Amino acid sequence: MNNTVQMKQATPANKNSPYTQLKSMNIGDCQWTTGFWADKFELCANAMVPYMGDVLCGDVGHALNNFKIAAGEKEGEHQGMFWHDGDFYKFMEAKIYVYAHTKNNELLAELDEYIAIIGKAQESDGYLQTQIQLRDGVDRYENRKYHEMYNTGHLLISACIHFNVTGQRNFLDIAIKHADLLYTIFMPDTKHYGRFGFNQTQIMGLVELYRTLGDKKYLKLAEKFIDNRGKYEVKHHATTEGYPIGDMVQERTPLRESNEAVGHAVLALYYYAGAADVYAETGEKALLDALDRLWENVTTKKMYVTGAVGQAHYGASVNRDMIEEGFIDAFMMPNMTAYNETCANLCNAMFSYRMLNLHGEAKYADIVELVLYNSALSGISVTGKEYFYANPLRMLNNTRDYNAHENVTETPNREPYLSCFCCPPNLVRTIATVSEWAYSLSENGFTVNLYGANTLNSELKDGSPIKVSQETEYPWQGKVKLRMEECKADAFAISLRIPKWAKNSKLTLNGEELSKTLEPGSFVKIERNWKKGDVLVLDMPMEVEFIEGHPRIEEVRNQIAVKRGPIVYCIESPDLPENTDILDIYFNGNKSLEPTHQPNFLGGITTLEGEVLIRKDKGEGIYRTVQKPEWTPHKTQLVPYFAWSNRGQAEMTVFMPVVWED
């Protein structure tokens, strides 16, 4: 195809998208140098990705085996969830990103091996779904519960990124053949396939393929999958049996009429992220208005202090549709039973990142940052080899039967393998590509979305070279120093994100304070003739803050969480006397907490040293009479929420009841 151009751009590859304020940087243009994200990337390249490769390419994960069997290279049966192919594509995506940053050719060769197997597994007409190909008695596109669209979405995205990074067509050609088949089946209006577009990951994949190939049919098909939802009567038929319908899969209300995020949180947020990609190409106002409403609904009424989403494992929507792993009523935010699937949290960041591109407003990057440092990283251990699926804000021992049924995905500790393996590769691919989210191109300049020591070596939109180095100890210190290494002579703008938490920040240029209003939660734009050697210093005082919930969140009334900068803290049983019940921990609001950096503790973190109160008097029964309780003060430390559960099985809480002395 003549229009195929290697975009080199990170996802979303929106260079030519007409309706975006900001454009993604090219993959690899920003490289972490030292500090938090450099450490995480190194761990990702040296532990997370190799370990995951061992698991998924071996017999435990059995993901590559599925492709080998479908390719006729191995005997055996399909193992893993229906969406296991998709999870393997996500792992490949992580490996592609690591290759993009390290140029380690071994990774490229391994990817080529996988691609050759996947290519052999693909049927001659483009169909590629090992969960169906290796299953007797099930036809392709027979029932949406088999998650074909999910696998498709990740195939398309991973293949586009592979092409954009390597310029090789081997993976891309598989994706094209597959998408062309999809087009012939799902583009015509048929009642049979009208509601089939679940789960909605394919929308993002199709738009990315459109961007790579320039062929509008993929965009049209992506749009079709949005238009079809909410169009058909919600009742079970042949393609829906065996999986909840209605709000669970966002098919009751057309997206353009939606005011409330409903149903499975991962499906919903992949759907909204895909719709944001469609809007970037079509500019349809009704779509953007709906996405604005949904983003507000998620982030102001249904999101945890950690940026996590999907309050419940089981529940119902207001339309009384059964929902799983998803959104329930606004402000209904349990701590202990919070589901907060790692994928859902990541999808919240992916949706917010796309909204940042569309609107160019810092509030979206605030959510990306909140998720990354808290409810995303909590999904993986400090060694990079154990995973959480659910990310509750409170953990109690012995309150839950983890073997109650096969779908209990909430675990008391991170596990080295999860039979439902969607979250680990989703998180690892994100860690591998955070640097691609750090900067964006604006009309005449660039924005700094995320902080972390790095070098940027890129081009502005007019093609002029731009080189910048960033020094900072973020997220542990709020001082960020940007040094101009190379730039054009003409004026252009650097926009720095002032995070919502960053009050009383100061900005200096070459040692002189700039008289700019630094409004928390917005970008500050500095437009001038830059020259090599210019030094911009943003100093954001990082105070320890006590956070309370909206009074309508009953589950946290009279409780506080502790936050410093972007990091949410928790208290965990290894930092308490043995056998302390985490529910007996109170916080004395008059006491201060002292940040202490501990480079050799839990991967290098800043703890908060201080005192909590342990309640001594015990009551009994579901309701008890109470007088003023008795407490024992206890000197201890709070650790970042993402770093909990790395010291053995523990109780943990983010929110603590607070006592304010006169």
For residues 511 and 574, the answer to whether their CB atoms sit within 8 Å is: no
* Interaction between residue 290 and Zn ion (CB under 5 A): no
Report in angstroms how near the CB of residue 268 gets to Zn ion at its nearest: 13
Shortest gap between Cβ of 84 and Zn ion (angstroms)? 12
Residue closer to Zn ion (CB basis): 7 or 265: 265
CB of 48 to Zn ion, least distance (A): 16
* CB-nearer residue toward Zn ion: 114 or 339: 339
Tell me the residue nearest to Zn ion as measured from the CB: 343
Judged by beta carbon, residue 187 or residue 420, the one nearer Zn ion is 420
Candidates 386, 429, 536, 518; CA nearest to 472 is 536
Q: Which of 63, 343, 568, 571 binds Zn ion (CB under 5 A)?
A: 343
Backbone angles phi, psi at 190, to 5 degrees: -135, 140
What's the closest the beta carbon of residue 266 comes to Zn ion, in angstroms? 6
Nearer to Zn ion, 107 or 265 (CB): 265
Which residues are 26's β-sheet partners?
9
Identify whether 403 is preceded by a cis peptide bond (ω within 30 of 0): no
> Which among 69-77, 270-278, 337-345, 450-458 is the span making contact with Zn ion, rule CB under 5 A?
337-345
Measure the CA–CA gap between 155 and 148, rounded to whole angstroms: 11
Q: Which part of the chain contacts Zn ion (CB under 5 A), choosing from 60-68, 141-149, 333-341, 589-597?
A: 333-341
User: Does residue 423 belong to the site contacting Zn ion (CB under 5 A)?
Assistant: yes
Stretch that binds Zn ion, among 338-346, 405-413, 446-454, 458-466 (CB under 5 A): 338-346
Give the range of 194-202, 336-344, 371-379, 628-636 binding Zn ion by CB under 5 A. Answer: 336-344
Piece of the chain touching Zn ion by CB under 5 A; list 214-222, 251-259, 343-351, 409-417: 343-351
List Cβ<8 Å contacts ≥24 apart for 53-56.
53/91, 53/95, 53/110, 55/416, 55/417, 56/87, 56/88, 56/91, 56/421, 56/425
Please say which residue, 343 or 460, places its beta carbon nearer to Zn ion. 343
**DSSP string for residues in 277-290:** HHHHHH--HHHHHH
CA atoms within 13 A on the CB side of 288: 15
> For residue 497, what are the β-bridge partners?
523
Q: Which is nearer to Zn ion, 176 or 347 (CB)?
A: 347
Any contact of residue 30 with Zn ion (CB under 5 A)?
A: no
Size of site (CB under 5 A) for Zn ion: 4
What CA–CA distance (Å, rounded) separates 511 from 187?
Answer: 59
Nearer to Zn ion, 79 or 253 (CB): 79
3-state secondary structure 551-589: CCCHHHCCEEEEEECCEEEEEEHHHCCCCCCHHHEEEEC
Host H or E run for residue 527: strand 522-528
262 lies in the binding site for Zn ion (CB under 5 A)? no
Q: Is the dihedral of CA 539, 541, 542, 547 positive or negative?
A: negative
State the nearest-atom distance from the C-beta of 484 to Zn ion, in Å: 41
Q: Which is nearer to Zn ion, 391 or 457 (CB)?
A: 391
C-beta of 424 vs 574, nearer to Zn ion = 424
Q: Please provide the distance, in angstroms rounded to a whole number, between the alpha carbons at the two ends of the chain.
A: 74
Among 290, 393, 422, 542, binds Zn ion (CB under 5 A): 422
**What gap in Å lies between CA 214 and CA 575, rounded to an integer?**
56
**Two structure tokens written together for 597:** 């950096």
State which residue, 287 or 346, has the beta carbon closest to Zn ion: 346
Q: In whole angstroms, how close is the CB of 409 to Zn ion at the nearest point? A: 8
Q: Tell me the closest approach of the beta carbon of residue 83 to Zn ion, in angstroms.
A: 9
The label of the residue with tokens 């370990």 reads: 51
Q: Tokens 């929308």 correspond to what residue?
A: 203
Closest contact distance (angstroms) between CB of 298 and Zn ion is: 17
Told to check if 418 binds Zn ion by CB under 5 A, we report no
> Stretches 31-39, 422-430, 468-476, 577-585: which one binds Zn ion (CB under 5 A)?
422-430
With H, G, I as helix, E, B as strand and everything else as coil, classify residue 326.
Answer: strand
Say whether residue 427 binds Zn ion (CB under 5 A): no
425 or 475, CB closer to Zn ion?
A: 425
> By the criterion CB under 5 A, which residues form the site for Zn ion?
341, 343, 422-423
